[in-house]
Structure 1
Amino acid sequence: MRVNEDAVLRGQRVLLVPYEPHHVPRYHEWMKSEELQKLTASEPLTLEQEYDMQRSWREDGDKCTFIILDRGRWDQGCPEDQCMVGDVNLFMVDPENPSIAEIEIMIAEPMSRGRGFGEESVRLMLYYGATTLGISTFQAKIGEENLTSVRLFNRLHFTEESYSSVFQEMTLRWEVTETERQWLLDAVHVSAESYREMKQNRETDAHH
């Protein structure tokens, strides 16, 4: 999605940055994991296909993605690809109604799990979707055995909408009512900035 191509969302633990070509090699390595393929219901891609996928995430108007960086490592000066821990995505599920979106979260780095990165990233994406993209209904499709994700979304006020015995997954739903919007705004600590400027500042600091 073009709208977030220069957007950074800075939280307390994470930075959400646009998915760029230089992120693809690390992302490709992650997706060789059979565990992640199962959890994300995805097929392994060639590196070339992964670059094509990155371009579609950038160009297509019906999906939005951010790469999740470990803010602590970034602030310590680690190279960007070494700060990557996962990604968070939105899909607009109904072309007739762009206010409904499915949200996905993946913390790919095993050492980065259980540290609150996933929950903060979802909060930031809900905030971005509700305030910038005009999303009023969020859905999350989760395999029934993925109890960690179920608990995460339950904490974020998602409730079960339906269950598919064929796919053994549940669909959770969250409506952005005025009450829920206020709860989200109170719960999120976020500042927005320019990705280009963030990178330029890092390069300037490196030369001093």
Structure 2
Amino acid sequence: MRFNQSTSIDCGNLILVPYLERHVLKYHEWMKSPELRELTCSESLTVKEEFQMQKSWLEDEDKLTFIVVYKHGVENKKPQVLHEIASHHIDEMIGDVNMFLTEGYEDVEEDQNQICSTYIQAELELMIAKPEFRSKGLGTTIIEAFLYYIEQSGLLESTHIAKYIIRVGSKNLPSLRLFKKEGFQQTKYVACFDQVEMEKSIR
């Protein structure tokens, strides 16, 4: 999303920065891991496809993504939006967080008739690629900072998001616990993909 091309979110030890071309090769190395692809329900891409995906995440108006970097020796703090790309090294990358907008459908009653109503939903994805940074509470900081940005930036209103949703592999228990803690409720289990779907209404 062009909206965040020059934006960072500073949480002290964690900083969210736009997904840039210089991040792609490291990201591609991460996604060679079958475990990560299973946990994130992702497909294996070539380097060329990964660069195309990066461009899509940066430019498409229905996608928003940040790379997460970790600063050793820095204390955690409340998120602060910076209108610049914070200084960081590729080796400090530990994961990413993103959303993409899709159209949801629900049946509503109107004048004693059932009609299909549409709404905009934001599907969230969180990945901490480096195992040594998992189960340390960092996922909570990342998600809360990401949602803070969406709400404070005006994106919530301009994109008319009605709810957040996630789709997570049923074996990804840390993610399921995290989103439950953040107020998400399970709405569906998709057996063919072994995925749990959870959602959190906004309005």
Category of TM-score, reference length = shorter chain? 0.7 to 0.9
Percent of pairs with identical residues: 39
| Residue 141 of structure 2 is aligned to residue 120 of structure 1 | yes
Partners of 1:106 and 1:30 lie apart in 2 by 10
Superposed CA offset, 1:136-181 (max 9, x none): 411011111111111010111111122222222111111235xxxx
Aligned counterpart, 1:197: none
Pair 1:38–1:166, CA change in 2 (3 A): same
Partners of 2:38 and 2:73 lie apart in 1 by 28
Aligned counterpart, 1:131: 152
TM-score normalised by L of structure 2:
0.79
Pair 1:49–1:13, CA change in 2 (3 A): same
Aligned counterpart, 1:64: 64
Aligned counterpart, 2:38: 38
Question: Unaligned 5+ residue runs, structure 1?
Answer: 178-208
Question: Unaligned 5+ residue runs, structure 2?
Answer: 76-86, 105-117
Paired residues for 1:1-80 under 5 Å:
1-72=1-72, 80=89
Pair 1:10–1:81, CA change in 2 (3 A): same
Contact 2:40–2:169 (8 Å) recurs in 1: no
- RMSD of aligned alpha carbons: 2.1
TM-score normalised by L of structure 1:
0.77
Relative to structure 2, which stretch is displaced further, 164-173 or 148-157?
Answer: 164-173
Aligned counterpart, 2:196: 170
Partners of 2:25 and 2:71 lie apart in 1 by 20
Partners of 1:140 and 1:28 lie apart in 2 by 23
Q: How many residues align?
A: 174
